Amino acid sequence: MLAAMNITSAARLTGGFSRVSSLRSVVRDGYVRSAAAALAVWTAGPGRAGESADGPRGADSWGVRSQGWFWVNGTPVAWVDTYCGTYKYDVTDLVQAGTQAVVVAEVNNVVPSRKGLFSAVHRFGGLYRDVELEATPDARIDYAWVRGDFDGQAAEVHATIAWDGAAGAPADPVLRTTLKTADGQPAGVDVRKVAVDPATGRAEVVVRIPPALFRPWSPDAPSLYHADLELCDGARPLHGWTERFGVRKLEVRGDRFFLNNAPFFVRGYGDDAVYPLTLMSPASREEHLRHLRIARAAGFVYVRLHTHCELPEFFEAADEAGILVQPEMPYYGDYPTEAFAFDPLRDLEELVTHYRRHVSLATYCTGNEGRLAAAGLNRRWGDACQDAAHGLQRHYQKRGIEAARMDPACDGYSFWTVVDVMVSQGETYSAQGLFNAFWETKPNGATPETFRAFNGETALLLAMERE
């Protein structure tokens, strides 16, 4: 699909992702196979602070389900084939101020997708976010993120400063970083000179600022900060960047989890990326926050993303809701969810690089079930781990039954219900039976023999052979 954009600004254009926007074409089986998105006309007003006088600077970026190909004014710009990252592409030399730019986006849903469960469950084709263009000056903050240091009680701010050529270099480059709490209270300031490598035109700056108001993040108190970065030429602002972050410490000591140096009991749930109204995960922080606050109200503090990584808006919502997130790479053991190259280190690097800014990012998993043969872990090892997990679950359930049995005031209990109740129960049907309505064992359910063993005065929870 073609899209025309009027380029009236002489500033650099940088891109990112925002809301959902797509046009979808559907084939006979009802699955969306391919799509293209119409990009809105983009106009930047003249006279913005920090604009370059030597022509427009620009970059575009997109998010696709499988793979996408993009052109600007007939020139190939990008091939997008990612697991979870967000990327931008410089189109400065392809557009001119005062002229119209034509952007072409072709998205194919037939080729393999690296998105994992997103592609296994959702037959979505096309762009799942708007394409955004942002004008920036030649001298700019190209990238930034913040790591919270709990033990050091500090914010470690990472910033990439860049400018193009001597003409775009500030005479007195200064980076000013201001910390604020989420409710706007001042928490710290750092001002320093910036020295850019003339060979690369870039500088990597690391700033440590101890917040005056130290408020660590936890599920019970998900405190967040804002770091406002401003690149200046002396006292004159050139470009700004705001990054939100939290400070917490999650670790393992012996066989126990600790959060912020205190014992931490993980109460987690699984998320299979089920979105019946939008098909794909909505690019909406508010929608994810509504779901996560329901989960938090139910007592959960942790979520495992089944064989996928969510959108940035999901992590933004988790930061606010106080829920730790475990994304999962798109593999079933040692083979991919679709026919792309097996390279978990590539995917892990992409995951950490793009999501480390979120305090909710807690752990990661290399994939769902299966086995990692290259690491010497076979199917028997995987089955034993799963059996051990089920045994631990039965152990705690058994403790509850035995506590009731040993209570002198308790004469017994009733298991509700033995079979699924096939009557309306609050506009739905009950499926809480031990067996189905025909008194048959449910898939993955207990047989009469296993439940009798569990229900008895003693129970064998797990049996394994010696190696």
Q: CA–CA separation, 346 vs 434, rounded Å? A: 44
97 and 150 co-located in one domain: no
How many CA atoms, within 13 angstroms, populate the side-chain half-sphere of residue 130? 10
Query: Band of the pLDDT at 197, cuts 50, 70, 90?
Result: confident
Report pLDDT digits (tens) over 199-225: 888 999 999 999 999 999 999 999 999
96 and 20 co-located in one domain: yes
94 domain residue, yes or no: yes
29 and 113 co-located in one domain: yes
What is the greatest pairwise CA distance in the chain?
87
23 and 130 co-located in one domain: yes
131 domain residue, yes or no: yes
Is it the case that residue 50 has pLDDT exceeding 50? no
120 domain residue, yes or no: yes
3-state helix, strand, coil in the chain (%, to 5): 20, 30, 50
Collapsed DSSP state (helix, strand, coil) of residue 3: strand
Q: What is the pLDDT of residue 96?
A: 81
117 and 189 co-located in one domain: no
Q: Which domain holds residue 150?
A: 140-245
312 and 423 co-located in one domain: no
* Residue where a domain terminates, one of 375, 398, 426: 375
Q: What is the pLDDT of residue 275?
A: 83
* Residue where a domain terminates, one of 136, 168, 192: 136
Report pLDDT digits (tens) over 433-451: 777 767 788 776 778 887 7
Collapsed DSSP state (helix, strand, coil) of residue 111: coil
3-state SS string over 287-354? HHHHHHHHHHHCCCCEEEECCCCCCHHHHHHHHHHCCEEECECCEECCEECCCCCCCHHHHHHHHHHH
113 and 211 co-located in one domain: no
CATH of residue 194: 2.60.40.10
Q: Mention every residue, 6+ apart, whose C-beta is less than 8 A from residue 436.
A: 419, 420, 442
Which pair of structure tokens corresponds to residue 184?
């706007």
Percent of the chain topping pLDDT 70: 72
22 and 59 co-located in one domain: yes
CATH of residue 329: 3.20.20.80
261 domain residue, yes or no: no
7 and 127 co-located in one domain: yes
19 domain residue, yes or no: yes
Q: CA–CA separation, 261 vs 223, rounded Å? A: 17
CATH of residue 44: 2.60.120
Which pair of structure tokens corresponds to residue 55?
């022509």
- Nearest of 224, 38, 50 to residue 135 by alpha carbon: 50
* Residue where a domain terminates, one of 375, 391, 408: 375
Which pair of structure tokens corresponds to residue 304?
């495992």
162 and 97 co-located in one domain: no
Q: What is the pLDDT of residue 180?
A: 97
> Does residue 126 contact residue 32 with C-beta atoms inside 8 Å?
yes
Counted domains in the chain = 4
99 and 59 co-located in one domain: yes
Q: What is the pLDDT of residue 161?
A: 95
Which pair of structure tokens corresponds to residue 98?
């005062």
310 domain residue, yes or no: yes
221 and 323 co-located in one domain: no
253 domain residue, yes or no: no
357 domain residue, yes or no: yes
The pTM for the full model equals 0.75
